[in-house]
Structure 1
């Protein structure tokens, strides 16, 4: 079978092969214009500012309350004594979010009962809710929420009784 240059497909393939071989054997030595000539134009791995540092802290209901997301502040909430930084979920837990009433508060009972009403919140001047009256299903539900928060948000503290600090 002979190679027939009379057909347009064979001619196009031959030209493509010759072009590819030429590019491999004689590559372009052009210097890229995107490569910086000076360091000031180069890549800098340093961030403009250091990211805010989170410290593991002990909170009481009163010290947790200011972290409700108002005025751009961090948003924290607690479930069964564990405090989570949910600032990344500002759309949910921020001032206009669906779960805004949990911001800066102990959300244990509300998460257990799947109720987002303000009646589920213990007043901040009272002792922490012992959750003694929860059913086994509600406790499992609360544990499910804790697993969700543990995997999605940063644990940044623990919630203790007001007189424990």
Structure 2
């Protein structure tokens, strides 16, 4: 005879919260909280450029500041020497205004010409007085000078070789 009594059904057990999917979710949560709350790295400021000292330049002293050999790019406009290194792509080697780097750019900027004949050939000679320029050319030069004053730092002044200012600057060195 067959036993008609059946075994009681298994007791309902509570599902364990420790399942593989819950462990994965908990791990992701812990990782996200860690990345959200971890201390940030201290921010470091970029290095400041070396200080620029206002100085007196003669044309031969200005000439090496043409952007070659890691030198900064300077140019002079109406006796003021500007550090145009930030505009190296324009005034440095290979730039459209590269002829002016390390030189007095006044005449070329006033005349809107980048030709070599706009540059002073004799670096030991007198500075270009620009006295033969017309009012329109002088107005163009003033516009360039204002633009440089807005964008670039004046780092010195240009004086002729042998002038009293050049002698005084040489004595201070």
> Take 1:56 and 1:32, find their aligned partners in 2: how far apart are those partners?
52
State the TM-score, normalizing by the size of structure 2: 0.70
**TM-superposed deviation, 1:142:** 0.3
Structure 1 pair 162–34 and aligned structure 2 pair: CA distance change class (3 A): farther
Structure 1 pair 36–144 and aligned structure 2 pair: CA distance change class (3 A): same
> Take 1:117 and 1:60, find their aligned partners in 2: how far apart are those partners?
22
Say which SS state the counterpart of residue 58 (structure 1) adopts.
strand
Match of 2:25 in 1: none
User: 1:31-110 to 2 correspondence within 5 Å?
Assistant: 31=33, 33-37=35-39, 42-47=41-46, 49-110=47-108
The RMSD of aligned alpha carbons is: 1.7
Deviations 1:1-36 (A, max 9, x none): xxxxxxxxxxxxxxxxxxxxxxxxxxxxx8552444
Structure 1 pair 35–95 and aligned structure 2 pair: CA distance change class (3 A): same
User: 1:117-156 to 2 correspondence within 5 Å?
Assistant: 117-123=115-121, 124-156=123-155
Deviations 1:104-126 (A, max 9, x none): 00011101111110101112121
> Take 1:34 and 1:86, find their aligned partners in 2: how far apart are those partners?
44
Match of 1:12 in 2: none
State the TM-score, normalizing by the size of structure 1: 0.74
1:115 aligns with 2:117: no
Match of 2:23 in 1: none
Say which SS state the counterpart of residue 131 (structure 2) adopts.
coil
**TM-superposed deviation, 1:52:** 1.6
Say which SS state the counterpart of residue 133 (structure 1) adopts.
coil
Gaps of 5+ in 2: 1-31, 167-173
> Take 2:103 and 2:93, find their aligned partners in 1: how far apart are those partners?
13
Higher Rg? 2
Structure 1 pair 98–46 and aligned structure 2 pair: CA distance change class (3 A): closer
